[in-house]
Structure 1
Amino acid sequence: MNLTEQVLLAKQGDREAFIAVVKQVESSLYHTARSILKKEEDIADALQETILKAFKSLHSLREPQFFKTWMFRILINECNKIVANRSRNVLMDEFPIQLSLSPKDELIDLRDAVERLDEQQRLVIVLHYFEDMPLRQVAEILEISESAAKMRLSRARNNLMEKLHTFREGKIHYGSI
């Protein structure tokens, strides 16, 4: 049974079908939330709220084939609420006292570099490359035009290349952390 058929069953009240469709997208939702929030407890809160809201409002989903896009939109809204409500204070134990590059740092993971991008660019990279979504779907999730999504993706790739180059040279600026 494909995702659309399971969503139709879930809309009719089949809880097992809803659990099955959530399980199909949970890994992608987790990685997207992680790219926005970073903290596991915030990620867990966002995922829980997303699933709860999706369950409560599943009847309002008009096009079952867009279930995944709909879930991502709910998740991004929940993540943005958490970010907005987060305290602006930086705890001293979270602030890096000394920043040095070791040979291990030179082998920076691509995902780490992506996580250093600003949120708009990070989201377009995560959705397009890590979640393998076409630009049209990325644009729908982010509620922007397809050309705006292409522009963000282009800027994100350029910034990512710049960050990777900076890391390789051993130059880390506090503003880019």
Structure 2
Amino acid sequence: MQAYKVDLYKTAIAYLRNQDDAIEALQEVTYRAYKNIRMVKEATYIKTWLIRIMINYCNDQLKRNKQIVINDEIIVTHGIFENYTEMELRDAMQDLDERSREILMMKYFHDLKIKEIALVLECPEGTVKTWLNKALKELRKRIDGSGEGWTNHV
């Protein structure tokens, strides 16, 4: 848990946008992880398993509070949309479906590989690639109305 504490905290902050809520989330996820540690099939994927628990917890909290929160730093940090303001990205990402936001977050905020995302989402790698491509196109479309030809910058 100590090794992934920062990643889990960043995930919680990205979703919940409140330091107190993020700390509470970290405590709850730590409890859940220790309680269900036997469910981890391969130790090499412990990080993805923990992040998935955190994402699920945060989504539950957001649904409970009826808030829609996205991480506007995800893509800005990685320079994918250098010419767009955080406000444009925030508005565009709020319109995306939950799965698209999660995939973008895992890929660009947590730097997870396609294989790791597939393990978290329990689906084939090809499906993750398709969903990621679709999410990126949809985000671009919402930002500038095109959605064409920009994925080469990723």
TM (norm. structure 2) is 0.65
Name the counterpart of 2:11. 32
The 5 A counterparts of 1:77-88 are 77-87=56-66
Cα offset for 1:61?
3.1
Structure-2 separation of matches of 1:71 and 1:33: 12
Matched positions, count: 129
1:128 to 107, 111, 114: 107
Cα offset for 1:124?
0.6
Structure-1 separation of matches of 2:118 and 2:135: 15
Q: Does the C-alpha gap of structure 1 residues 152 and 35 become closer, same or farther in structure 2, counting only changes over 3 Å?
A: farther
Structure-1 separation of matches of 2:90 and 2:45: 30
Structure-2 separation of matches of 1:123 and 1:33: 13
Greater Cα radius of gyration, structure 1 or 2: 1
* CA deviation string 1:52-110 (max 9, x = no partner): 1112333443422111121112212212322332257xxxxxxxxxxxxxxxxx85138
Q: Does the C-alpha gap of structure 1 residues 123 and 60 become closer, same or farther in structure 2, counting only changes over 3 Å?
A: closer
Name the counterpart of 2:136. 157
RMSD: 3.0
Question: Is the 8 Å Cα contact of residues 32 and 123 (structure 1) preserved in structure 2?
Answer: no
Question: Is the 8 Å Cα contact of residues 103 and 132 (structure 2) preserved in structure 1?
Answer: yes
Q: Percent of aligned pairs with the same residue?
A: 29
Structure-2 separation of matches of 1:30 and 1:165: 32
- Asked whether 1:146 is paired with 2:108, we answer no
Q: Structure 2: which amino acid aligns with 1:108?
A: T
Q: Structure 1: which amino acid aligns with 2:2?
A: K
Q: Does the C-alpha gap of structure 1 residues 34 and 158 become closer, same or farther in structure 2, counting only changes over 3 Å?
A: farther
Q: Does the C-alpha gap of structure 1 residues 87 and 41 become closer, same or farther in structure 2, counting only changes over 3 Å?
A: farther
* CA deviation string 1:151-175 (max 9, x = no partner): 2211211122123326xxxxxxxxx
Name the counterpart of 2:26. 47
| Consecutive unaligned residues in structure 1, runs of 5 or more | 1-21, 89-105, 167-177
Q: Does the C-alpha gap of structure 1 residues 165 and 40 become closer, same or farther in structure 2, counting only changes over 3 Å?
A: farther
| Consecutive unaligned residues in structure 2, runs of 5 or more | 68-82, 146-154
2:123 partner SS: coil
- Asked whether 1:72 is paired with 2:38, we answer no
Q: Structure 2: which amino acid aligns with 1:70?
A: W
Question: Is the 8 Å Cα contact of residues 45 and 116 (structure 2) preserved in structure 1?
Answer: no
* CA deviation string 1:107-130 (max 9, x = no partner): 513874675343211111111122
